[in-house]
Structure 1
Amino acid sequence: MFLAVWKAECLRLLRSPFFLLFSLAMPMGFYFLFAGLNGPDTTIGGTTWGAYSLMSMTAFSLIGTAVSQFGIRLAYERRDGWMRLMRMTPLPTGVYVAGKIASTLIVNLAVVAILFPAAAFAYGLTLTASQWALCAAWLWLGSAPFLAMGALLGALKNADAAIGVGNALLMGMAIFGGLWMPMESLPSWMQTVGALLPAHHYASGAWSVLAGGLPGAKEWLVLLGYGAGFMVLSAYVYRRQEAM
């Protein structure tokens, strides 16, 4: 049953025009905009702006997929009665949600596989093979906590409210987390808020690799902590709703 859900969701995501727009076209457009405005060869954080911005926009893309293609869609499926229908079948709700998460992770891998070569070809990025591999692995695995956040977002009873909340979360994390512009260029109070958000630590792990290091313990702990918190809250909410 899990494999059937996984396959169906992979196909649905890849065929979705919203996925193509919000997870590929928009982040790629922002990348070329920001890299072009600042100069792809400009030095920042021990690397070039072209490489730095690529990690930022890839992180933004994968967070956006978790919010819009997973979380908000899950809220609409609940509104339309799809989740109630699932409870009438032998398929457990947990397996259904897990299948959607697994399929989104596979699609996230495809996003990385498209954005990285496109940027490398456009600006001739000269990262080492290990840097490419480590950044790709970090961004892919690090997207899991945001899928847990999407699962919690999908538990909202008002699907229309989920759109507003989801977009506010996405934009807030992108701006305050330093995905659209370096944290150092933001006012101090925004930097303080941004340092508390998982999005900043998510992108920061990839930036560390670009600078010749590795994601630090703080990045790991923040993402694991947020991921565990979102998972526990999601499981609690779904169990409460199933019991009603």
Structure 2
Amino acid sequence: MATASIAAPAPAAGLDFDYYFKLFLKETRYEFLNRLRLRAYSLSVIGFPVMFYLIFGIANRHSEGFHFARYLLASYSCFGMIGAALFGLGAGIAFERAQGWLELKQASPMPRLAYLAAKTVSCMAFALIIVAVLVALAITVGGVHMTLRELIQLIAITLAGALPFASMGLLLALVLPASAAPGIINLIYLPMSFCSGLWMPIQALPHFLQRIAPLLPTYHYAQLALGIFGYAQPGSTLLHWDALIGFTCIMLGTAWLLFTRMNADA
């Protein structure tokens, strides 16, 4: 008895964009749900900025005449975005690489860009949740008054940090072992945040840290957000954008070289 084989139709040339766009949306949805159900990720990424804001921002909102609740609303929004990106891509991809899941993704017909973009957009979604919670706390119990323009600017600048720190997370994922990735990322993430003025005004830091801060991408990212509320250090806004763009290019370029060498050695 003859059997007929049925081949799945390939997407028409005119529908390529729709096909890949739906693929990207589906990959993003699954990635976000995966991260949301992974309690070690979702609770820590959302919980730490909110907890620290309650302790340092709300409890000391008018300490010594300085409006900490307003200052830390901007800085902890950045802090949340950085954490979501570094742990989402850094620790996440390192774990998937150790399990062989990354090799399976490479062997699949899904474009590599869709895989990375889905992870980055998922991190941005978590950052939006963090900003929403922080803004709600700031307005209701922190005594912070915001205009609609300030809110839109805060959201936009927070999301703008996704690409540079997702690029950094990608590079870390390629060089860190999965078992050590979360701990090493914390050793990088927390000191960088502290030295950049994300936890307290940079004027309160020791002078040698104030001199080091402009060398860190987290400092330039924080200055863009703090500038919304008038807390940025004197300097050019364009310089901060240039620093983040340059940092992104360095991270992506280095990650691409490492990835190419790893594939060549394999």
- More displaced, 110-119 or 217-226? 110-119
The alpha-carbon deviation at position 163 of structure 1 amounts to 2.4
Alignment of 1:162-181 (within 5 A): 162-181=181-200
1:99 paired to 2:108 = no
- Greater mean deviation of Cα atoms: 160-169 or 52-61: 160-169
Q: 1:34 to 1:180 in 2, by over 3 A?
A: same
Contact 1:66 1:104 in 2 (8 A): yes
Structure 1 residue matching 2:180: 3-state secondary structure: helix
Residue 2 (str. 1) matches residue 24 (str. 2): yes
Which of the numbers 228, 238, 241 marks the counterpart of 2:259? 238
Determine which of 54, 66, 69 is the counterpart of 1:32.
54
Q: Distance in 2 between matches of 1:118 and 1:39?
A: 12
Q: CA 1:81–1:229 in 2, change beyond 3 Å: closer, same or farther? A: same
Q: How does 1:120-131 map to 2 (within 5 A)?
A: 120-131=139-150
Partner Cα separation in structure 2 for residue 171 and residue 24 of structure 1: 15
Shift of 1:112: 1.8
Tell me, yes or no, if the aligned pair for 1:151 and 1:234 is still in contact at 8 Å. Answer: yes
Match of 2:37 in 1: 15
Say whether the 8 Å CA contact 1:40–1:123 is kept in structure 2. Answer: no
The structure 1 residue matched to 2:249, chosen from 205, 209, 228, is 228
Q: Following TM superposition, by how much is the alpha carbon of 1:221 offset from its aligned partner in structure 2, in angstroms?
A: 1.0
2:210 to 191, 195, 202: 191
My pick for the range that moved more, 234-243 or 63-72, is: 234-243
Greater Rg over alpha carbons, structure: 2
Would you say the 8 A contact 1:31–1:53 is kept in 2? Answer: yes
**CA deviations over 1:155-195 (Å, ceiling 9, x no partner):** 12521232232111111111111111221111111111222
The DSSP-based 3-state class of the residue aligned with 2:52 is: helix
Percent identity over paired residues: 30
> What TM-score does the superposition give when structure 1 sets the normalisation length?
0.90
1:216 aligns with 2:249: no
Shift of the 63–157 alpha-carbon distance from structure 1 to 2, 3 Å rule, reads closer
Q: Deviations over 1:91-128 (max 9, x none)?
A: 24343222212222233223222321222212131122
Find the counterpart in structure 2 of residue 53 from structure 1. Answer: 72
Which string of whole-angstrom CA distances, capped at 9 and with x for unpartnered residues, describes residues 46-93 of structure 1? xx2211011111111111111122211110110011111222222243
1:65/1:233 CA distance change after superposition, 3 Å: same
Q: Secondary structure at the match of 1:178?
A: coil
CA distance in 2, matches of 1:2, 1:57: 29
SS of residue matched to 1:91? coil
**Distance of aligned partners of 1:150 and 1:228 in 2 relative to their CA distance in 1, 3 Å threshold:** same
CA–CA separation in structure 2 for the residues paired with 1:23 and 1:215: 31
Q: Aligned-pair RMSD on alpha carbons? A: 2.2
Query: Separation in 2 of the partners of 1:97 and 1:134?
Result: 25
Aligned amino acid, residue 34 of structure 2 = R
| Residues 169-225 of structure 1: per-residue CA shift (max 9 Å, x gap) | 111111111111221111111111222111111111111110199981111111111
Unpaired segments ≥5 residues, structure 1:
none
User: What is the DSSP-based 3-state SS (H/G/I as helix, E as strand, rest coil) of the residue aligned with 2:174?
Assistant: coil
Query: Could you say which residue in structure 2 is the equivalent of 1:108?
Result: 127
Query: 130-139 or 212-221, which moves further after superposition?
Result: 212-221
CA distance in 2, matches of 1:42, 1:147: 37
Per the normalisation by structure 2, the TM-score is 0.83
